[in-house]
Homo-oligomer: A and B are copies of this chain.
Amino acid sequence: MKPALLLSALFLVVARAAPLPVDEALPLVGAAGHGHTYPGATVPFGFVQLSPDTRTEGWDACSGYHYSDSTIMGFSHTHLSGTGAADLGQVLIMPFTGGLDEGAGYKPLAAERFQSRFSHDDEKAQPGYYRVSLTSYSITAELTATAHAGMHRYAFPASEQGHLLVDLVHGINNPPTGADLKIENDHLVTGYRSSDGWARNKTVYFVIECSRAFESFGLEVDDKPLEPGLTEAKGKNVRCHLDYRTSAGQAIVLRVGLSPTSLEEARENLQTEIPTWDFDAIRESARAAWNENLARIRVDSSNPNIRQTFYSALYHTMTAPTLYDNADGSYRGTDNVVRSSGFHHYSTFSLWDTFRAEHPLLTLTEPERVNDFVRSLLAFYQESPDHVLPLWPLTSCDTECMIGYHAVPVIYDAYRKGFRGFDAELAYRAMCDTARSGRNWQDEYQKLGYVSAETGKGKQAASRTLEFAFDDWCIAQMARALGKTGDFESFIKRSQSYAATFDPATGFFRGRTARGSFREPFDPRAVSFDDFTEANAWQYAFSVPHDVPGMIKLYGGDQSFIRKLDQLFESDSDIGNYLIDVSGLVGQYSHGNEPCHHIAYLYALAGAQYKTAQRVRQIMLTQYDNTPEGLDGNDDCGQISAWYVWSAMGLYPVNPADGVYVIGSPLVEKATINLDPKYYAGGSFTIIAHGVSKQNGYVQSAKLNGQALNRPWITHEELVKGGTLVLDMGVLPNRSWGAEN
């Protein structure tokens, strides 16, 4: 036996490197089912979304990609994330090999012809980067993006017949109305594409630079080839192919600048943002931008599913609104005038969805953009012929989709939280003009005190009344803040209109005719657009976020209000006339659509926080995961995702504009919101959930900055001054915690 050395066992503390937020975010979450997300490359809030198109027809083509597909028709430069209506998919490029014609005669260069098979096993989607093997051609395609430009890298096999297709006909519910495509020289192609669609009358200009000169090319208009020698194609349906002799492993890189205003600006955007041929450098910039944005909320969880679900959701809250301008800030207004603005102009506001939780979240995670969001909405107001705030602006067009005037809460929430980078008086005028316009039954609402129900007209009368009332509450608050006392009185009165559409006999908000009676027949489960918006009476039964005590009174007090909430969740899920939007059902509650999003948090405001905790947990665990199936309905530009971001941290803005965050049931062990010191003095706010696990979901007690917290909410001011909220979590409900409000 050898003498033993006097040495204690060595305990090396190996710091476990936490994964970077950017590595936890999975763009493919939501790409199956009806999530309608796209997997391609973009930067936060970028104008360009360079992503594979696998289909262009049908509801599940809204983002151009569906996870169940097995072929790709090419990579186009603009896409919508999570919407229920389709558009964009502009300027498609597809690499392929082989001959161009089949049999006798000329065959048009349609993207459908050249689509390639692909497998999810050979596909990688990361924030700012997408790669896929186009197995039909043995080509590896990689994509990355900047705000106004896209970059492609295509690794071809050795081939005498390598090609790039540029297809300006292709689009997603976006038929071309005119185009130009010019071969400037052997490595430069420029042009524009005008189109109609959901957003009417839009044009995108582009320059495509190729790292290697093509050897030949072919242009086509209206499915007919142009004469050899001609270098410019103009017309409605324009395509071209660029031809290469390729050798294995030799990549062709493309950099593509886009602009909504001019070819010159497209060139400028490209030069400003992609001055290099180094694909990996641009990819790294996109990755760094994402990581910087995603790290604004740091969450700890030992459960990788939860971390990935969280960061995938946070990622998707940063895919809209999107820039609709040039790198220098010039943009095309809804009046078709190009302006230099001094701010960055955004569009793609899915306001009926995103006013609820996404815009309140962005006031914390993206404060540097909030003033520009508001300025962009106000520009729409100023430039629109009707002088109203837009409903659902996309490109420079208001699609006028959905109801309400929910630009109002977005603007008021920003103002309430101290954002002053816009003209408040102008904002207030915009609110009032919109609320008083005759556009969408606002006039009738003002006269009658509610929007009247009429069968078969799709008036969505009860929903309009409820949502107008909430928006009016926001205008009233804005009026008060600006010292307009008379207006405050007038709008606060309007904000009580919700009561006019409540039927105490059935205990539901209902469609009410102009003569005052409630519309018959009535079935609270029946989904229709008669009295409700993509919903039924159950799903709109709690749509008074601005006056919860008043709503509780309508239902007869806390206890019967709680019973009503219980019934919502405990009924079976028969919804009469099935509508695909009404998904994510828990009883009659529909999480896959937006009107229900605040409802589980209402228990807390009626003295039963533990019931909020239970339902919020159930929804997080059943309606989300870290797979392509991970969203239970259209993400709607990030609202479904924003619900999860808030809820997994343990908070939710029940009233999206009053700066109160109701406490639910955090899933993560710790969440730190890192506040931008340019906007908030507090540094950071941390929520710690002691003892939390999948099983431990009930708040036992809470401390805010070391002081006992008994109410089930905190204010925006408490949050942004920084500090720590500690929640002690347990497996059983503590019915007394948070019972006082």
Which residues of A are interface residues toward B (Cβ below 8 A)?
Answer: 1-2, 4-14, 16-17, 32-34, 67-68, 71, 96-103, 113-117, 119-121, 135-137, 161, 215-218, 228, 243, 302-305, 566, 570, 572-575, 578, 583-585, 592, 610-611, 614, 617-618, 621-622, 625-629, 632, 693-695, 698, 731-733, 735
The reply to whether B578 and A732 form a contact with Cβ atoms under 8 Å apart is: yes
Which one of A12, A578, A698 has the greatest number of beta carbons of chain B within 10 Å? A12
A97 — which chain B residues lie within 8 A by C-beta? 10
**Is the Cβ of A101 less than 8 Å from the Cβ of B621?**
no
Q: Given A33-B694, A622-B617, A629-B303, are A99 and B5 also a contact pair (CB < 8 Å)?
A: yes
Q: How many copies does the complex hold?
A: 2
Are A9 and B115 within 8 A (Cβ)?
A: yes
Bound Cα distance A695, B622 (Å):
9
Q: Which residues of B contact A698 (CB under 8 A)?
A: 573
* Complex alpha-carbon distance, A583 and B17, angstroms: 32
With CB as the reference atom, state the residue of chain B lying closest to A216: B1
Q: Which residues of chain B come closer than 8 Å to A303, judged between CB atoms?
A: 625, 627-629
- Of B16, B103, B304, B611, which contacts A119 at CB under 8 A? B16
- Note all chain B residues with C-beta closer than 8 A to A566: 570
Query: A98's contact among B9, B119, B305, by CB below 8 Å, is which?
Result: B9
Q: How far is the CA of A275 from the CA of B192 in the complex (A)?
A: 74
Closest 10 CB pairs of A and B: A5-B99, A7-B99, A4-B100, A621-B622, A1-B216, A4-B101, A7-B98, A4-B99, A14-B135, A629-B694
Whether B10 and A574, one on each chain, are in contact in the complex, defined by CB atoms closer than 8 angstroms, is no
Cβ of B302 and Cβ of A32 under 8 Å apart?
A: yes
CB–CB A12/B102 < 8 A: no
Q: Which single member of B6, B12, B216 contacts A103 (CB below 8 Å)?
A: B6
Q: Which residues of B contact A117 (CB under 8 A)?
A: 11-14
Min CB distance A656 to B, Å, is 26
Which of B12, B101, B136, B572 contacts A11, CB < 8 Å?
A: B136
In the assembly, what is the distance between CA of A11 and CA of B137, in Å?
8
A578 proximity list for chain B (CB < 8 A):
731-732
A17 to chain B, nearest CB (A): 8
Expressed in whole angstroms, the Cα–Cα distance for A102 and B9 within the complex equals 9
Most buried by B among A4, A7, A302: A4
13 contacts between A and B (CB under 8 A): A8-B98, A9-B114, A10-B137, A11-B71, A14-B135, A16-B120, A32-B302, A33-B694, A303-B628, A573-B614, A574-B733, A584-B695, A621-B622
Bound Cα distance from A347 to B720, whole angstroms = 60
**Cα–Cα distance between A243 and B628 once the two chains are bound (Å):** 53
Most chain B CB inside 10 Å of its own CB: which residue of A98, A115, A218:
A98
Task: Provide the bound-state CA to CA distance between A135 and B622, in Å.
Answer: 38
The complex places the Cα of A693 from the Cα of B621 at a distance, in Å, of: 15
Contact in complex: A228, B1 (CB < 8 Å):
yes
Does A733 contact B67, Cβ atoms closer than 8 Å?
Answer: no
- Contact between chains at B694 and A632 (CB < 8 Å): yes
Residues on B with beta carbons closer than 8 Å to the beta carbon of A218: 1
Q: A135-B14, A732-B578 are in contact. Are A695 and B2 (CB under 8 A)?
A: no
Contact B627 A618 (CB under 8 A): no
With known contacts A1-B228, A136-B9, A215-B2, A305–B733 Cβ distance under 8 A: no
Given A32-B302, A573-B614: A6 and B735 interface contact (C-beta under 8 Å)? no
Beta-carbon contact of A626 and B305 below 8 Å: yes
The answer for the CA separation of A5 and B101 in the assembled complex, in Å, is 6
CA distance A228 to B733 in the complex (A): 62
When C-beta atoms are compared, the residue in chain B nearest to A133 turns out to be B14
Residues of B within 8 A of A618 (CB): 618, 622
List 9 additional contacts besides A13-B117, A302-B628; criterion CB under 8 Å: A1-B216, A2-B215, A8-B99, A8-B102, A304-B627, A305-B625, A570-B570, A573-B732, A575-B732
